[in-house]
Every structure is written in C-alpha cells, then in structure tokens.
Amino acid sequence: MEPRELMLSIRAWQRTLNDHLKANRFRIPIHLAFGYEGLAVAMDDVTSKACPVVLHHRNIAYQLAFQKCPRAVAAEFLGESDGLAGGRLGSMNLASGKIFYTTSILGNGLPVACGLALSRGTTVFVVFGDGAIEEGAFYESLLFARSHGLRVVFVQENNDRSMASTIAERRCPVDWAMISHAVGVPHFSSDATLDGCRRALAAAAEAHGPAFVEVRLPAFNNHAGATPGWPTDPLDLDFTPEGFLRPVEADPLHDAWRDALDECQAAWQKLQAVTREELL
C-alpha cells in the first residue's frame, strides 16, 4: 500500500473503531490517535523486522500501520482469540511483530528499551509522550543510553496533552534540544507530516548511538475515549464526506494528499464502506 493511502486507511480504520467505542463495544480503554498517521507510517518505513519498537498506551496508529490488518487489531480489543495477541494483551499493552513491548505506565518503556539495545546491540526505537518525559525514568534512560553507547532512538510525541492538561497548565516549558545537547545526544525535530517524520527518524537511526527525536503532533478531537466525547472535545476533524476535505491546521493527512484532494475524497468514501464491513 502506498504510504499516503496507508495514512488514509489508518484514519478510516480509527474512525470505524471510534464507532465501536461510541457503541460501548469495548470493555477496555482505547486511545485513538487522529493526527499520528504520518509518524506511524514513517516509523513503519524506517524500522524493519530487525529494528524493534517500544510503544506506549496510545499505540493504535502504529498497530494499524505495521499490521495493516484492522480486523486483527479490533479482535484483540474485543478479547477474541484471533486478535493480534490472542486477546490477551488488550490495547494498552499490545505488542506483536516488531513491536517488542508496549506499556501503559508512563516512562516504563524507556528502561526496557535500553535493556533491549544492550542485549541486541542494534537500534531500538522507543516512543513516549510529552507526559512521560516528566518521569524520572526519561532522564535516567537518556543518561544510561549515552553512557553505554546504546543505539536507542527516543521519539517524543509532543501533543501538548497529558489527559486534559496542556503543558502550560502542568509544568514549565523545556528546551529538549538543550537537554539533549547537554548529555551529548543528537536532537532532531519534526512536525507531524510523513516526510518530516521520515527525515527525522532516518537521521536519528544513523546516529549509531542514542538520539532524540521530538515530533510535534496534533491530537485531534477528544484526547481520550470516543469522539464526540467530553464537552471540551475540540472536534477538529469532521468525518463526513463533505467536511473531510476542510483543511485542518497541521493535519498530516491533508499535507500528504494536498496535490490530489479529489482522489483523496473518493478514496475516503470507498474506505468507509470497506472498513465498516471489515470491522463491524
């Protein structure tokens, strides 16, 4: 599947999963990731079977990008035996294929990624949010990886949210480039676009030691649970065929399809029917 088609599919699959979520079909929490499609597809491109990835609870875009099988993901969420992990791991701990480990504990995956890099001696990608970076495990792991020359690529998804709190509402601002520089770790940054993420991740993987990638991501619509959700749900994205093409600032999907919007809209409408059939 072409990368931008995969991005569109991930958006459509998530939208259908959101319908399930609204209908209370899942007994487990699901964390949707509208706006993460570019990073997820870039990660799929840059990593390979031999390049493991450590994720956190908001991992759905990566699962869909890596597996390209929304039915297996949905089955896992439903606890069914034909789910990606036989229905045993649910959503927040779902790991299969090149996803080595997935954690629901903030910052918990960072030391595990260091151990994995220590064991294999190869590049390991560990993904975490701007909330996890406030945990002590982040600083410890950055130091540990640098001190022992471990090839850990620290990928921060900066969506400015920890549940309902923005960064400004919960802590002082931090210059991550300076933090990285202070411990001798190269720093890369990107917006949420596919091309930007690809460049940053590929450059970090070439560092042959620890590297830090800061990705500024939009977190569209409700940050937790289904959308429309909380009264504070910003409803950035409109999923109707008419509203779908309305430009939304920082939407990586819009960026990827900017030269073929009509084609994109047609593909979106087609996907709606397919994904509903596949998942419902």
Partner 1 sequence: MTLLECYRHHFFPRMEGAITFGENIDKASCISGLGKNLSGSRNVGNCELTHIGAGFGVMMDGGHAVLIAKQLDFMLLGLDHMVNTLSFARSAGKLTGSFSIVTYLCNQGYQGPQSSLVDLSGFCSLGGFPGYLLQEENQIADLARTALGAPGFRIFVLPQRIANEPVLSLPITAVGPGWRMYGQGQKIDVVSCHATLAEAVSRSRGFVLHCDCHPDFEHPPFKLADKVTFLDDGCGTLRWADFIHRKLRACDPFVVRPRNHAVNPDSFP
What does the per-residue mask of binding to partner 1 show for 64-93, with x meaning CB under 8 A? Answer: ---------------------x--xx---x
**H or E stretch at 21:** helix 3-22
Options 69, 143, 267, 274; binder of partner 1; rule CB under 8 A: 143
Among 32, 53, 114, 264, binds partner 1 (CB under 8 A): 114
SS3 142: helix
Measure the CA–CA gap between 125 and 55, rounded to whole angstroms: 8
| Residue 265 interacts with partner 1 (CB under 8 A): yes or no | no
Residue with smaller CB distance to partner 1, 88 or 181: 88
Provide the mask over 225-244, with x wherever binding to partner 1 is found by CB under 8 A and - wherever it is not. Answer: --------------------
> Which residues lie below 8 Å from residue 59, measured CB to CB, with a gap of 6+?
31, 33, 91, 92, 94, 99, 102, 127
Q: Which of residues 100 and 176 has its CB atom nearest to partner 1 in the complex? A: 100
The pair phi, psi for residue 75, each rounded to 5°, is -65, -40
Angstrom CA distances, 18 to 38, 116, 124, 127, 162, stand at: 19, 34, 31, 23, 20
Instruction: Figure out which of the listed residues 74, 95, 194, 213 binds partner 1, where binding follows CB under 8 A.
Output: 95
> What is the rounded CA–CA span in Å between residue 165 and residue 41?
27
Residue 8 makes contact with partner 1 by CB under 8 A: no
Site residues (vs partner 1, CB under 8 A): 85, 88-89, 93, 95, 100-105, 108, 110-120, 136-137, 140-141, 143-144, 147-148
